[in-house]
Each structure stands twice: as C-alpha cells, then as structure tokens.
Amino acid sequence: MAFELPKLDYPNNALEPHIDAMTMEIHHDRHHNTYTTNLNNAIKDTALEGKSIEDILSNLSAVPENTRGAVNFNGGGYDNHCIFWKNMKPNGGGEPTGPLADAIRTAFGDFAKFKEELSKAAVGVQGSGWGWLVTKKGSGAVSIKAMPNQTSPRTEGLTPLLGVDVWEHAYYLKYQNKRPDYVGAWWNTINWADVAARFAAAK
Ligand code: MN3
C-alpha cells in the first residue's frame, strides 16, 4: 500500500490571515504531493514497501545506501507535512494545558520562554528546514530541535510533536523574506490538542 497525500482537515483559507490560502494550496497540493510521490517511487519493490513511515525513518541506517538519501528527504517530507497540517487548525493558538504544559514548564520555565526558544531555533535555521518540539519516547520530557531540509527528528530517535516549516515555500508569498513574521503568526494556528495527543502517545 503506497503512501497517500492526506486531505487537509480544513479549507485552504481556514488559517488566514496567518497563512494565506494560495500558500496552503501550493504547499499541500504540490509540495507535499511531490514528497509523497517521490517517497513511493523510492521504496517501490523494496523491503520498505508496507512499513510505516515511523518505522522507516526511525531505522534509516537499515535503508540500502542507494536509496537512503531519497528516503530521508522524501520520507521526512511526507511525514513532516502530515504532522504540520494536523498541528494547525482554524482559530488555533493559545497555550497548552495538562501534562504537555507541565513538561514545557519543566523544560523551559514557562510558556513565554518556550515560545521564544522555539521561534529562535526556527528563525535561525540556515536555508531550509524545520523547528520542532520533540520528545524521547518514554521520557515524558520535551526539548527543541532544529532539523535541516526534510530530515525527520525520528532519524535521531526523537518523536516530533510540533513542527514549524521554515522552507521559503511555507511563507514567501505572504511574508517574502520576513521569516520571523511568519513564525510569529504561525503560533496563532497551533492545534494544542493534537500536540498533546502526540505527547501522550509517546509517554
Ligand atoms: Mn513544506
């Protein structure tokens, strides 16, 4: 069973004014679709076919060398964007509650400090990449991780909880070179229930 481009849970314009409809359309229908197609092409007729994306990315060293680069890039691109769309919702934002909020307080002191640190990590990515809130399975602890290009935190044994895509395709139509403005606006889209569910599942 090949990987499929997931449908968005909301219309393309649902995250406006923070993320514009045209950016969502191009980002989901073209960019995410291309990662999906290229991932399927890379694993076709190999032992990876039929495995979960978590399994593939968590065991990247087991992927044959001739396809490892393509699987890292397109598999990460497929998985990262699946998480990214779910991490957002219309009228999102605010702050988390419950065990996730507690873990954030333990790691960063308070929510404002966490927001500052994740924003700094994301804005500071050189070229293309992602800023992530991650956990190590079973630890109950969270931390921040910046990753280059489409490389998944899973390749380092970490579980991605909340990600912000800082590739230019994620923001350039509306924000041009102003990545900090895009990251600032992205906070207003976060679906904390989704992030908390990922954290609970990894505990
Ligand atoms: Mn992207």
Domain count, the chain: 2
78 and 131, same structural domain?
no
Query: Does 104 reside within a domain?
Result: yes
135 and 57, same structural domain?
no
Out of 57, 86, 115, pick the residue that ends a domain: 86
Report whether 153 contacts 132 (CB < 8 A): yes
The pLDDT of residue 180: 98
Report whether 146 contacts 131 (CB < 8 A): yes
DSSP state string for 33-86? HHHHHHHHHHHTTSTTTTS-HHHHHHTGGGS-HHHHHHHHHHHHHHHHHHHHHH
47 Cα–ligand 1 center, Å: 27
Average pLDDT over residues 84-103: 98
162 Cα–ligand 1 center, Å: 14
| Model pLDDT for residues 44-58, shown as the tens digit of each residue | 999 999 999 999 999
188 and 106, same structural domain?
yes
106 Cα–ligand 1 center, Å: 30
The pLDDT of residue 124: 98
104 Cα–ligand 1 center, Å: 25
- Could you list the residue range(s) of the whole structural domain that residue 119 is in? 98-202
Q: What is the pTM of this model?
A: 0.98
The pLDDT of residue 7: 98
The pLDDT of residue 1 is above 80: no
145 Cα–ligand 1 center, Å: 17
Confidence of residue 135 (pLDDT cuts 50, 70, 90): very high
